[in-house]
Chain A
């Protein structure tokens, strides 16, 4: 008996009698062949009381430098936004935290209505008419969209902008290798997709094309132009798939208005924690024609026998558990709890809030780029006329790893090592800097001081060393 089980000796005796065996071991002996019975204790430490477990987990936490401990300018897909307290409170409620997938809709109206509201919010943000109840996260959402396109038109090629998140490209390649589709990458120019190369890459065997908005480098793509080009390149237009940053959708034209067929993305910045990379959620929205092919769960509105408004999981035939081998995906999880955080956060931001937040991000990003670009040995990686939103790339005239280490000594994480993420030659010496509403002007000024000093010191010691 542990603190989570309740079998007293009296219970045990009564239960064994009812079953008609002398011991629990007997039940196992009758069913598990001897050669595969373990016959020794697991080689793991003994169990601990709750308070000891707490201390151990706290000690581990203290060996991590989080955004609580340093000024964090890391981004590249996950961002240190402010999550209001009411989100945490709602996510911890038993009624949202502990139920299973809503297979019995009569007692799951809370969860199902949340899904319906979430789907509505995503459709509004993306300006696309259908959305599922969420998938795991961003990069695998991109890969799932690719698979859906493949099933839709049966063609054998994906054309991918290099502006897509490197993890999305990598995941897409892994999945595509399984179902036998070639992945071709189109280069960027000044941080956005090279339109000529894009057009040249698309042929009649292209199942889908992919780009990111904004690009991985924070630059604003001309989504409408990319979509239009893809659709007119051949007689067999591919499915246009965009990975979009949801918090920019108060400012930027939504994918549905830009000719995009499927919009997916990482939802972490909507009310979810950093959590060292997960869990979060991926959103997945598309044009009406894809409704019956979309992966994942979908909540639909209906009525009960008395005419009451209610919600159910619907179109489940698409899912793994009925179509089996013909399912449009194998996903049976929706990230329900994280999507709840997402829709609550979007309700908290509200119609005007998401625009204001977007404008604030735009202003602060612009200020940060301007300030840092002016530093000695630091310059914008791409043309300054290319608009950026929430994130941008710099080139440092010094070893990036060493500069970052110096900044860390001053309690600042200045951004991500770009070359380490993309592996592209032109990204050598690159730093990807993310700005959220938590990074104030004072923080940005401090970054400028520390980064400027770090670059200067590093250049000096490199010069001396040479």
Chain B
């Protein structure tokens, strides 16, 4: 059972001003001297609570054809009796509402966002400009290939680039997100075994894997078998050998793993898995560590998925859209989803829908083209050298931040938040807040909430589940040394503060538009829409 992270804190009654007594003379405000911020004073009002009957922003184009009365055309039971209670607002009201709402969001353009395995790197604005070009943005997905050659060439070039980066020759851009790409990978594995006349039931995943892997496996009709990790965070080879057999269809891995560590046994793992005829699947969430430096295809993987919204700068958009293309080895290629982009001898592109062994479609049309445009622009901008430089810098930044935290802060953060595994890391690292909890009475959650007052987005908390009070940090390559220093200093400051008075962090944040929210009540009595 996983330990829930939600903790409502101890405050049970609202107070007119902010509670606690601050003993710190530096750092963000807290305590009696703090009054409500303007954003806190502004109550949340939904768009449905704005406006008034009769207001409108839409002006319908004039009716230039004979009127058709729905009452005569459609029988009563086919017609909507009352209009839906959508808002009645003018255009300025809409703009003001959403612009004000946007100010209640922290975002990557505004500040440091070191979420582990999310690769929150800068989203270049050039990409928005090119994605908005009408030739891309207003292109209908069913336009004849002969009149969409620019789009097909862009997708083809992107596929070739992803193939080169991954070391696997055949690519499908169709899956809509990382987890969709994973589903594709498992379905491809199923097709591969079925084609060879075999029925296999099990898929192996390490116990450190992201929750998506087990859920995907079940959805594709397989049984999840967890693999132990060894004290260095890599796959426990003994456990692997014990569990691998001819009923295993696939092993799903991410390398580097969720601890930010490269599994040194990867070649041997591949041999063991291939030895029983199973496939090896690479979760590309951590690709940012190895672009141009190491390739999953060369490590022995059969299927790789990419997250264009991670390494390739597709903006996260507050949760989506994303895009999760896959690259596969020769033997898996026949099963790729349709349509597939093909190029003839004259260099003309087309979409092929008839592929005998394809697993079929995973979604409508050909995928999230808007994301392809952005990712392609990024790859064009960086080129071979730039992609390698990005990974090298990502790894440099992570190791630097780790070194600062371990050695150079006062107190050394390592005392309370030691590194969970190893010494060096790749693009991310995991700290354990166990000592902090025991010695300062501060949980990782409290540290995260206090970081909000310092103007940083916290790292990922409580993942991987394997590490007690985990804190997973991925700075990415687009941050400056100054930002990394400031972040390390902020963590140290919070620890110093907690040594004197842990209550401050336990009741943080103080300066955000709302303070700690009652997640228990939200789950017990879900209110998921405005009462109208």
Contacts and interface: CB of A to CB of B under 8 A. Distances in A.
Interface string B347-371: 0000000000001111111111111
B60 A356 contact: yes
A327 B224 CA distance: 12
Contacts of A185: none
Given A24-B395, A64-B147, A325 B448 contact: no
Interface in B42-92: 43-44, 46-48, 55-58, 60-61, 63-68, 70, 73-74, 77-81, 83-89, 91
Contact of A319 (B80, B211, B360): B211
A102 to B, nearest CB: 7
Contacts of B94: 86, 344, 347-348
Interface stretch (B129-137, B240-248, B434-442, B497-505): B129-137
A452 B295 CA distance: 56
Contacts of B60: 353, 356-357, 360, 437
5 contacts: A33-B267, A41-B385, A130-B529, A223-B78, A298-B526
B128 A92 contact: yes
Contacts of B99: 90, 93
Interface string B445-473: 00011001000011010010000000000
B529 A120 contact: yes
Given A99-B318, A352-B56, A47 B382 contact: yes
Contact of A62 (B138, B150, B298, B392): B150
B102 interface: yes
A306 interface: yes
Contact of A107 (B291, B359, B386, B452): B452
Contact of B105 (A27, A99, A174, A276): A99
A31 B529 contact: no
Contacts of B153: 60, 63
Contacts of A114: 98, 101, 318
B136 A64 contact: yes
Interface stretch (B25-33, B175-183, B275-283): B175-183
Contacts of B404: 18
A366 B65 CA distance: 9
A421 to B, nearest CB: 8
Given A106-B452, A136-B176, A355-B80, 12 more contacts: A38-B295, A54-B130, A101-B319, A106-B517, A110-B103, A113-B44, A114-B101, A130-B529, A324-B211, A349-B58, A351-B83, A351-B85
A98 B109 contact: yes
Given A179-B219, A336-B318, A100 B86 contact: no
A94 B318 contact: no
Interface in A45-71: 45-48, 50, 53-54, 56-69
A334 B179 CA distance: 12
B272 interface: no
B317 A337 contact: yes
A61 B133 contact: yes
A62 B135 contact: yes
A297 to B, nearest CB: 6
B123 A97 contact: yes
Interface string B325-338: 00000000000010
B389 interface: yes
B316 A86 contact: no
A178 B186 contact: yes
Contact of B385 (A47, A136, A249, A320): A47
A96 B497 CA distance: 33
B149 A44 contact: no
Interface string A284-315: 00000001000001111111111111111011
Contact of B140 (A19, A72, A140, A174): A72
Interface in A9-44: 11-12, 14-16, 18-21, 24, 27-28, 30-33, 35-38, 41-44
A116 interface: yes
Nearest to B155: A276
A65 B133 contact: no
B254 interface: no
Closest 8 CB pairs of A and B: A61-B135, A47-B383, A337-B317, A277-B365, A277-B141, A63-B150, A279-B321, A321-B211
B238 interface: no
Given A38-B293, A44-B387, A57 B523 contact: no
A223 B383 CA distance: 53
A17 to B, nearest CB: 9
B120 interface: yes
Nearest to B56: A350
A124 B85 contact: yes
Contacts of A354: 83-84, 86
